[in-house]
Amino acid sequence: MSKTVNDLTILVIDENAIRGSIIEEGLNEAGHSNVKVIHEMHGVARLIETMDPDVIIIDIENPNRDMMEHMFQLTRSVSRPIAMFVDRSDSASIEAAVDAGVSAYVVDGMKKERIKPILDMAVSRFNAFSRLQRELAEARNALEERKVIERAKGILMKMRGLSEEDAFALLRQTAMNEKKKLADIAQSVVTAAGLLL
């Protein structure tokens, strides 16, 4: 997130107006001025899409299984930091919250002065998790590219009688000449060999 912490657009979802105002007051006192509180769960997905908040805070005073499942379905579909406050919970709900991508899950701890540090922690945890997901995707992509390059080298070694070093040098030189990525050239070799065999 490139915004400063106090520039964040924050959506608070709370069916209880009194509790919602406590959260809003805590955020305002912490310097957050762009806070929207809604008390109705119906149509919340569309509102999130329209408002595009940076952070979502969900407060569920007396969660039941259906409500929690609905909230977890919602949190799975939005890729942003989410802090969830509940008055009571069990280990299955906590595990489901983590699986659904909730960044902070706070049981029986909804106090005005705790909201800012919990929000900051949710944003930090979300950013760290997003970075790890990106790094994992990059590592998987690099591994796939490496496999394609190895297959292309094998094809060139077999079809042209080249050494491994010469096959790699040919791939690299072709990539430079065509101003393409080495993996793209390797994929072309593998594809072409597949058509010829």
Domain endpoint, select from 72, 95, 110: 110
Owning domain of residue 83: 5-110
Q: Look up the CATH number of the domain holding residue 32.
A: 3.40.50.2300
pLDDT tens track, the chain, 197 positions: 455 556 889 999 888 888 888 889 889 888 888 899 988 777 778 888 888 899 988 888 776 677 777 777 777 777 888 888 888 777 887 788 777 778 888 887 677 777 888 888 888 888 888 899 899 999 999 999 999 999 999 999 999 999 999 999 999 999 999 999 999 999 999 999 888 76
| pLDDT of amino acid 30 | 86
Q: Look up the CATH number of the domain holding residue 154.
A: 1.10.10.10
- 3-state SS assignment for residue 185: helix
Same-domain status, 90 and 34: yes
CA distance 72 to 54: 18
Helix ranges (DSSP H) in the chain: 17-29, 44-51, 65-77, 91-99, 115-160, 164-178, 182-196
Same-domain status, 98 and 173: no
- In this prediction the pTM is 0.66
CA distance 150 to 152: 5
CA distance 49 to 11: 11
Contacts of 28 (CB under 8 A, 6+ apart): 35
Domain endpoint, select from 74, 94, 110: 110
- Residue 77 domain flag: yes
Structural domain count of the chain:
2
| pLDDT of amino acid 1 | 47
Tokens (6 digits) for 43:
């149509």
Same-domain status, 9 and 106: yes
